[in-house]
A and B are shown apart, each in its own frame.
Chain A
Amino acid sequence: MNKEELKEYLEGLGLEEGLKKILFEIIDKAPVADQALRNTIAEILELQADFYDKSADLLEEEASLYEKLADELDAIPASPIK
C-alpha cells in the first residue's frame, strides 16, 4: 500500500473533511508509506473512534437526564381542583 493507495482507502471511509485533511497532510509530509506512517494513521483513526465512543457514553448519560426530568415533570400535579 503506497501513499496514493492509502489515501484512496481513507477516502472510502467517509471521514469528516477536517479529519481527512489532517490525515492527507501527514501522508503528504511523509517520504514513504512505511510502517511508522501507517501506524500513525491508525492511531489517529483510533483516537477518532475513541471520541465517538466517549461521546456516545456522554450522550447516553445526557439522554437519561432528560428522561428523568420528563418523568419528574409529569409527576407534578396539574391542578388543585380534582
Chain B
Amino acid sequence: MSETSSEVSKPPQAAEKNKPEVAQAQKTGAVEQEKSFFQEVKEKANIIWNRFKEATRVLLGKADERLVMPQTEKATEIAEKTKTGSVRDFFKTQSENFRDGIKIRGNDIAAGWYDFLALTNKGREMFWNKFSWGGAWSGENRAKAKERKDYAKQIRAKNVEIKEKARKKRGEAEGLKNAAANIKEKTAAV
C-alpha cells in the first residue's frame, strides 16, 4: 500500500520520462532531428561545392580564351617576324603556367574540402554517440564547427593573398607600358 502511494506521489513528469515509449519517442525525435540537420548540411555543402567547381571550370576556360590563346597568337607573330622561336615559347609557357596555377590553387581548396566533409561526418557520428552512450557531443561538436570555420578563414586568407597578387601585377603592367612608350619616344629622339 505504501509502495502504491509512493508511486502516486512521484512528479508526473518524472514518471513520464521513465516510460519506455517516451524514451523511444525522444530517440525518434532525435533521429528526425539528425536526419533533417545533417541531410540539410550535406545538400547545402554539395550545392556550394558544385557551384565552386563549376565557377572554377568557367574561370579556367576564360584563362584559355582571354590569356593563353591571344598571348600565344601575338607571341607567334613576333616570333615569326624576329625569327626568334623563344618568344613564342616564353609567352605560351608563361600563360599556361598561370592558368595551371588557378587549377592548383583550386585543388588545394578541394583538399581542405574533404576535411570539411569529414568534420561534418564526425559531427554526425558524435551526435549518434550522444544518444547511444551520452557523449559530450555539444562541446566536441563546437570544436569541430570551429575547425570548419577555420577552413572558411583559410579561404578568406587566400582571397586576400590573390587580390594582393593582382594589385602587384597591375603595377608591373603600368611600369612596362611606360617603359615601352619610353623606348618608342627615345627612338624618335635618336
Contacts and interface: CB of A to CB of B under 8 A. Distances in A.
B74 to A, nearest CB: 6
Interface stretch (B2-10, B17-25, B145-153): B145-153
Contact of A40 (B67, B81, B172): B81
Contacts of A63: 158-160, 162-163, 166
A48 B67 CA distance: 11
Interface string B33-63: 1101110110011001001100110010011
The A interface, classified by DSSP as helix, strand, loop or mixed, is: helix
Contacts of B27: none
Closest 6 CB pairs of A and B: A78-B145, A80-B37, A52-B173, A59-B166, A49-B176, A42-B180
Contacts of B83: 29
B62 A73 contact: no
Interface of A: 1, 6, 9, 13, 18-19, 21-22, 25-26, 29, 33, 35, 38-70, 72-74, 76-81
B169 A52 contact: yes
The B interface, classified by DSSP as helix, strand, loop or mixed, is: helix
A6 B184 CA distance: 11
Contacts of A51: 67, 71, 91, 94-95, 98
A41 B176 CA distance: 11
A13 B186 CA distance: 16
A80 B138 contact: no
Nearest to B119: A78
A68 B153 CA distance: 12
Given A44-B78, A65-B52, A58 B41 contact: no
A6 B102 CA distance: 35
Contact of A58 (B70, B102, B138): B102
A73 B173 CA distance: 35
Contacts of A64: 159
A47 B34 CA distance: 57
